[in-house]
Each structure stands twice: as C-alpha cells, then as structure tokens.
Structure 1
Amino acid sequence: MNQLQFDASIAERDVVRYTPAGIPIVAARLQHQSEQMEAGIKRLVELDIAAVAAGEISGRFNQAALGSQFRFSGFLAKKNRNSKSLVFHIVDFEPVV
C-alpha cells in the first residue's frame, strides 16, 4: 500500500496549470518538522518535499494560506517515468488545529 499522511506547511506554490486533458494541477513544496522516536532516542526530523494537487483538490489547495500548517494525505510517485525523484500527490488536506 502506498499511503502517506503528515503535517506540513506550504512553503512554495506554483500557479495552476492544466494537463493536455484539461485537468488542473498545482505544484508546491511542503516543509515538515517534528520530533520522532527512533531506537529509543528522540530525533529532530526536517524535510522539504515536492508535491502536486490535481483535479478537484487543486482549487482548494491553491486557496490555502502559504505558511499555514495542514495535515496532508496522499501517495508517493516518481516525478516522471524516467526519474528517480519522488513527488507527493495530495489527495486531501485539512488545517491542523
């Protein structure tokens, strides 16, 4: 199963673009920071990940405030067929309160 959920802020967001099939897509960079337990030791985890929101979710994502914290749900996939880079595909998100 390929599912990922984490809290992050929207660090950067591109303008909406459209696929040849007319599907809206918004590319972005998400930033995450948390403390995690690993081998019984607290570890500071920081990451910056490329993300995309496609279809209906792209409109809501495009309106979300930059810098605000959200809980994102989605999956990981290659950037393109020949790439080794991963992109997080946003399926849903909600504000973290």
Structure 2
Amino acid sequence: MNRVLITAQIIERSALRYTPAGLPALDVVLQHESDVTEAQLPRKVKLEMKAVAIGPIAEQLNRKPVGEPLGIVGFLGAPRNGRGVLLHITELNDIV
C-alpha cells in the first residue's frame, strides 16, 4: 500500500499550470513539524517535501493561503526527473 497522511503547510507554491490532457496541476513545497516517539524516545521531526496536486484538488489547494496548516492525504511517486520522491496530493482537510 502507498498512502501518506500528514499535517503540513504550504511554504512555496508555483503558478497553476495545465497538463497536456488539460487538467489543472499545482506544484508546491510543504513543511511538516511534529514530535513523535521512536524506539520509546521522543524525537522532533521537521521536513520539507515537494508535492503536486492534479485536477480539482489543484484548484482547491491553489486557494489555500501559504502557511495555513492542512491535513493532506496522498501517495508517493517519482518526480519527472526520476530523482527523489514526490507526494501526489489526493485529498485535503482543513485543520481546526
């Protein structure tokens, strides 16, 4: 299974673009920060991750302000250049 659930905020957003099939697409950089337990020890996690949203999710994400915490669901894939990991966003949830 390839499913990611993460709370993050947009720290960088490219202009909304369109795929060759005419679907809206949005490239963003997300930032996540949390405290977790690993091997029964507390650990602070902070990371930045490249992500993409395609279709109606791209338009929805484009309306979200930079810095607003979001609940994000998606899957991991390779970016176009084939190097690294890219989060493909499939669902957004507001964090209250």
Deviation by residue 1:11-61 (Cα, 9 ceiling, x = unmatched):
011111111111110000000000010001000000100000101111110
Percent of matched pairs sharing the same residue = 38
The answer for unaligned runs of 5 or more in structure 2 is: none
Aligned length: 96
Equivalent residue number for residue 74 of structure 1: 74
Equivalent residue number for residue 56 of structure 1: 56
Moved over 6 A (4+): none
The answer for unaligned runs of 5 or more in structure 1 is: none
Q: Classify the secondary structure of the residue corresponding to 2:15.
A: coil
User: So what's the TM-score if we normalise by structure 1?
Assistant: 0.95
In structure 2, distance between residues paired with 1:84 and 1:20: 22
1:1-97 alignment, distance < 5 Å: 1-80=1-80, 83-97=82-96
In structure 2, distance between residues paired with 1:83 and 1:57: 23
